[in-house]
Structure 1
């Protein structure tokens, strides 16, 4: 953590840009390492490079169906002046060749077969014909190494099969399996404790609401974002606004969490209690982000465990967590560069105003290559559910004109 993390009360109302937060709020904490079977490793992040125990594919193999040959025997071959080779035998799949290719000879070769001794290339079957039993006509020349892969062309012995710090993809699992690696050491899914606050917030299962009460929608949505980014969400309940209650709950959850997320209630008192409680258990890095929606955001280091204090309005909370929380979660997973968000290009349907120095995140609907902004109060989750994605008005900009081509980050 940088020296800025050690600052305390004087940071409470210091607003940082999102870029500053992403670059400067970089906790050293990482989720612990565990070993998992290959079948459970998709999207997990290796804790270290995984070296290949041997070369892959491990033998010189054919990439085409055809005939193993000595390349020199095919030089000058053409449709008008073909070469003729003696068929000496055939290579069987999954077995060592029992034939040796001598000058003027060839062996039938399947894709993936082991190259027999004496041969240095494979000519494609499309450029051959069996003109008479035991004689193969070749109408195209092949260079040495043609139609082949080397024994270490996929991976050399000892070279990394997959690197540390990058989520494993489906092809990675295939390469690991090809090398005989059946389990991998990866960072555990970061445990994210989600605390909701506010006297007005009640559990989603509440059937009848009293005047002023709201069901806790943010915790469920945050849990979905956490799971989607590879974390393990832990719903840590609702804490009222009474003094000391949030501090006590933070002390409890920090003992078993890799990240703590506090979703504030909508009252000013709840936000004040969050700032004070966090200051009592950790060091506040910033209290305020230059982002719309979501300015009243708090970032802190609590004994090495990062904490995010989110705005009380659901839309604001989810937008901020997407911009700051998700990259932080990937970092805790051992991944320095989060996987890219799917996106598309579209033309903006109307002018968008913004303020320089502030990142604006605007929800949009897409139709026929046009991005139409979706507006509404930040207390309304339906603004997000009606959107196909969002665009970002960068911090230096003062707005975007209608017709501007924009990049829209897509919701999955």
Structure 2
């Protein structure tokens, strides 16, 4: 390896399919109120059936369905009112032939009943007598004791981030703690003699504040990771190798911002090769070609381009899916999308994935252009359009999928 040439160049699809380090974060127990978006390490099963008893799903009357057959507004059925069910209590009355019991939504179905007629199709024509104007089939207006979840059945699967309804189902089953993968710790290492901390008040000529690290930390946190700022490393030979050796033992993923291109000053490729195995150096993507992927003793490392826009685009395409995989999720939650018409032609090169930033107004996607050093392009964008590798471009007026930023 010369250090001045891209090597083992791959497509983005190859990187997503082939760069799959086996490392996963450890498992920890978290309370239910802290489990949203966390990834269960194993399937969580129901300790008992749910809802646990046959219950009404409507306000009405518990009946034997056979007693309602043939009922209509012109020829209603008349049933004796035998009593009422109280919410939160077991029924004190059973349903017999020719009788019914008043039911609230969620109440326990009394013995003898196999359906509930909605109150809208009933009338109490005289004290103790209920008129039924519509028939109901067995099972209508109710759920079985195990209809939500059977005992021993899966409540939530392993490997999928927990959503709000999942938490509700776990709570209903009495599950108050969940074994989940720990949040991946992502060490963010910035490089370059010209890079200074964001709190630097006065910049000397040639200096730039470290904007990329803060933005990367936001992407990491948004994907459920724990960003760890590992400082700024100078271009002095050996400095990056030493810093990487320091941060690797406590990291689940290492991200090196800048230093992955082929310039004489770029140290990432050499430093990484000295402590790990470089999987590829160079991706067929625009922006972001000088990206490096490596395995350092089982810990994945992503070397990003120095330009902020390129770095964030590449991390969104590769770093975020990798982060979810480290947390035990093989299929990351898809981002929101919308359909829009392109306002102009977009050119591309066959064999390269192009990521084009766009604004979306009134169903029209307007491309945004600018140097990859400008973060303002990303700030103005509502999302991006992907030009796939086989395409040579996209035509104005065609409908495209826009991946929206959250």
TM bucket normalised to smaller? over 0.9
Counterpart of 2:97 in structure 1 is: 103
1:368 deviates by 1.1
Q: Secondary structure at the match of 2:266?
A: helix
d(CA) in 1 for partners of 2:288, 2:73: 72
Deviations along 1:223-281, one digit per CA (max 9) or x if unpaired, are: 00000000000010000000100000000100000000000159855763110000011
d(CA) in 2 for partners of 1:120, 1:191: 54
d(CA) in 2 for partners of 1:266, 1:22: 19
| Residues 303 and 136 (structure 1), Cα distance of their counterparts in 2 relative to 1, 3 Å cut | same
**Are the counterparts in 2 of residues 69 and 101 from structure 1 also a CA contact under 8 Å?**
yes
Counterpart of 2:48 in structure 1 is: 54
d(CA) in 1 for partners of 2:117, 2:201: 74
Residue among 157, 164, 169 paired with 1:170: 164
The number of equivalent residue pairs is 406
1:402 deviates by 0.5
| Residues 145 and 266 (structure 1), Cα distance of their counterparts in 2 relative to 1, 3 Å cut | closer
Q: Secondary structure at the match of 2:397?
A: coil
| Residues 271 and 126 (structure 1), Cα distance of their counterparts in 2 relative to 1, 3 Å cut | farther
Counterpart of 2:372 in structure 1 is: 378
Counterpart of 1:223 in structure 2 is: 217
1:184 aligns with 2:196: no
1:93 aligns with 2:87: yes
| Residues 282 and 180 (structure 1), Cα distance of their counterparts in 2 relative to 1, 3 Å cut | same
1:273 aligns with 2:245: no
d(CA) in 1 for partners of 2:375, 2:29: 39
d(CA) in 1 for partners of 2:8, 2:207: 32
Q: Bigger CA drift: 382-391 or 257-266?
A: 257-266
Deviations along 1:37-85, one digit per CA (max 9) or x if unpaired, are: 0000000000000000000001100011000011111111111111111
d(CA) in 2 for partners of 1:66, 1:51: 33
d(CA) in 2 for partners of 1:77, 1:182: 47
1:200 aligns with 2:194: yes
1:9 deviates by 9.0
d(CA) in 2 for partners of 1:284, 1:295: 15
Q: Secondary structure at the match of 1:402?
A: coil
Counterpart of 2:296 in structure 1 is: 302
d(CA) in 1 for partners of 2:54, 2:313: 53
Counterpart of 1:140 in structure 2 is: 134
1:254 aligns with 2:242: no
Query: 1:280-295 maps to which residues of 2 (within 5 A)?
Result: 280-295=274-289
1:386 deviates by 1.0
1:11 deviates by 10
d(CA) in 2 for partners of 1:74, 1:389: 57
Q: Which runs of 5+ in 2 are unaligned?
A: none
1:201 deviates by 0.3
Deviations along 1:297-324, one digit per CA (max 9) or x if unpaired, are: 0000000000000000000000000000
**Are the counterparts in 1 of residues 235 and 266 from structure 2 also a CA contact under 8 Å?**
no
Q: Which runs of 5+ in 1 are unaligned?
A: 1-6
1:333 deviates by 0.9
d(CA) in 2 for partners of 1:59, 1:221: 51
TM-score (norm 2): 0.98
Q: Secondary structure at the match of 1:255?
A: helix
Counterpart of 2:336 in structure 1 is: 342
d(CA) in 1 for partners of 2:264, 2:168: 50
Counterpart of 1:354 in structure 2 is: 348
Q: Secondary structure at the match of 1:272?
A: coil
1:8 deviates by 12
Query: 1:17-28 maps to which residues of 2 (within 5 A)?
Result: 17-28=11-22
d(CA) in 1 for partners of 2:366, 2:64: 64
TM-score (norm 1): 0.96
1:154 deviates by 0.5
**Are the counterparts in 1 of residues 71 and 134 from structure 2 also a CA contact under 8 Å?**
yes
d(CA) in 2 for partners of 1:303, 1:363: 36
| Residues 270 and 334 (structure 1), Cα distance of their counterparts in 2 relative to 1, 3 Å cut | farther
Residue among 94, 97, 111 paired with 1:117: 111
